Amino acid sequence: MKKTMLAVLLGCALNLAHAWDQQPNHYKVRIDADAQRAHVEADVWIEGKELAMFNAFAIPGLKDGQATFIDKLDARTMDGKPLPIKDKGEGEYELDGDRRVKLSYDVRLEHDKYDWPGGQEEVLYHTDEGVMAIGYYLFLVPGEKMLGQTRVEFDLPQGWVARTPWKQAGAPNVFTADTRRELVNNALFLGTAQQEQFTSGGMQISMVLGKRNWPQRAMMRELIERQLASYVKLFGRPPLADRYLIIANPGATGDGGAFAGSFSQFLKGDINAMTRPFWGRVMAHELLHFWNGHSLVPAQPSEEWFKEGVTDYLTVTTMARNGMFNQAHVTRFLENLGRGQSVARQGQGLTSTVQDAVKDKHNAWLLVYGGGSIAGLAMDVELRRATQNKVGLPDVMKALYAEFAQPGKTYTHADIVRVAKQVGGVDLGPMLQKIVATTEPFDLKPVMQEMGFEYEHFLFMLEHDITLRPDATAAQKQRFKDIFGFSYK
């Protein structure tokens, strides 16, 4: 009996010895004067035995991906005793955790010398005004879970300022992040680029622009404010986060990447009203992810078509309703849906379903984005047809958002079908099965006809054309107007 009690007491003592100390985590990031290296000092509670650079992945020539750039990694107990670290590859490390650990390491800021599947705007790049970096590639964090708030301090070259989506912690260049996701799943800009701050869509927006695009900030702000107002109306309320950082710099790709409370975008060419359907579409798409993607979250990667493709469809429809897409732009978008299918299937020879295309998203983007946009259009049209134009996809999005936009809650494919039936009284399951779960190109002709269009395509010439049918009914014409906000002429 005495031995049993002793064992219990020893067990309790051991558990108490490894209990979280209730203290915040700390990271100090020093950027060298030439901006080619970051030195990080940290003390962080490691729950379990895993330390990680999340979202590191191998590319040709870099078997450990972004973790290749970590140098001089050292871990110690809080009283200075060395802790052995086992490098498991691709940013995964093992050490004796369940304690607070002192970390020290360097990050070589060489990421923009390599091509990444998602683009440098989703990893790290330099400009003549500083460095854009995603938190994933600066912060080594506990792999199992991260307890408590995290305080981050930047020591920067003279004249530089840290632009982050985190809460300011009193002193300049000092911030707090509430969760691991908020810490690592965000874009940052460290440098001299200027920032404009304003309130829109229920959020505090910070817009950081390179000096080439700073003179066009009023045009960008107008687009942001108009689109955010449309998204609040579309989903019924603001997104879960209340701060959002936008970082935009010149870049040849014109692409962007969205994160938990931020997005990073390259701006291709001149920024003006004529090019707004291009740069503005990317910006508006990334903004919409703050609702569909980060507040409304799929349970499985197979629903990436809904996260990306339906987001793109709703981006186009809202931009059209806001006068930023004219009839020619909408026509091109509709024709490109079919053209994209043909290129993906016959040109690229892609054989996966739209759902499975997420496994090779960056090569199969015509299926993920294009196939998802086709699904969005087909859902919208069918709902409006079945309800005499009374219910459309926006009603489904609002209902999904009301049910699933909660921290930790996710939706499934079955939920999309269920909610659509509840809202519009129509079973979209069989139609979605044809679009996203088979490898056959979806026949767009009936969908186009329900908007009053004749749809012709010539496979070998990749010509896909829509023209207004002379016998288009008033209901079909109204359907198009309800979706895009103007009458087709």
What confidence tens digit (pLDDT) does each residue in 53-112 have? Answer: 999 999 999 999 999 999 999 999 999 999 999 999 999 999 999 999 999 999 999 999
Are residues 330 and 244 part of one domain?
Answer: no
Return d(Cα 346, Cα 85) in angstroms, integer: 49
Centre a 10 Å sphere on the Cβ of residue 445 and count the other Cβ atoms it contains: 15
**C-beta separation of 412 from 419 below 8 A:** no
One-character DSSP codes across 15-53: HHHTS---PPEEEEEEE-TTSSEEEEEEEEEE-SSEEE-
Tell whether 269 and 317 lie within a shared domain: no
> Would you say residue 12 lies in a domain?
no
Specify if 274 maps to a domain: yes
The number of distinct structural domains making up the chain is: 3
Does 252 lie in the same domain as 334?
A: no
Residue range(s) defining the domain that contains residue 222? 193-295
Q: Do 357 and 389 sit in the same domain of this protein?
A: yes
Which of 295, 319, 338 is the last residue in one of the domains? 295
Which is it for strands 297-298 and 410-411: parallel, antiparallel or unpaired? parallel
Q: How far apart are the first and last CA of the chain?
A: 90
Q: Are 376 and 247 found together in one domain?
A: no
201, 179: one domain: no
Quick one: 36 and 173 in the same domain? yes
Q: Say which CATH number the domain at 259 has.
A: 1.10.390.10
Asked if residue 281 and residue 327 are part of one domain, the reply reads no
**For position 51, which CATH number holds?**
2.60.40.3650
- Look at residue 426 and tell me if it is in a domain: yes
Number of H helices, E strands in the chain: 14, 24
pTM for the whole thing?
A: 0.89
Report if residue 213 sits inside a domain.
Answer: yes
Residues 46, 169: one domain?
yes
Q: What angle do CA 158, 162, 163 make, to 5 degrees?
A: 145
Q: How far apart are CA 309 and CA 17, in angstroms?
A: 50
- On whether both 306 and 275 belong to a single domain, the answer is no
The alpha-carbon radius of gyration of the chain (Å, integer) is 25
Copy the structure tokens of residue 112.
């923009």
Asked if residue 6 belongs to a domain, the reply is no
In this structure, are 67 and 183 located in the same domain? yes
pLDDT in tens, 111-137: 999 999 989 999 999 999 999 999 999
Statement to judge: residues 425 and 286 lie in one domain: no
Q: Would you say residue 8 has pLDDT above 50?
A: no
**Mind spelling out the 3-state secondary structure of 300-321?**
CHHHHHHHHHHHHHHHHHHHHH
Minimal CA–CA distance to 166: which of 141, 143, 135? 135
For 198-248, how does the pLDDT look when each residue is reduced to its tens digit (9 = 90+)? Answer: 999 888 999 999 999 999 999 999 999 999 999 999 999 999 888 899 999
Single-letter amino acid code for the residue at 400: L
Domain closes at, from 164, 191, 218 = 191
Residue 330: what residue type?
A: V
- pLDDT tens column, 299-340: 999 999 999 999 999 999 999 999 999 999 999 999 999 999
Closest to 468 in 3D by CA, of 445, 489, 446: 489
Contact assessment for residue 319 and residue 485, using Cβ atoms and an 8 Å cutoff: no
Q: Which of 218, 208, 167 is nearest to 188 (CA)?
A: 208
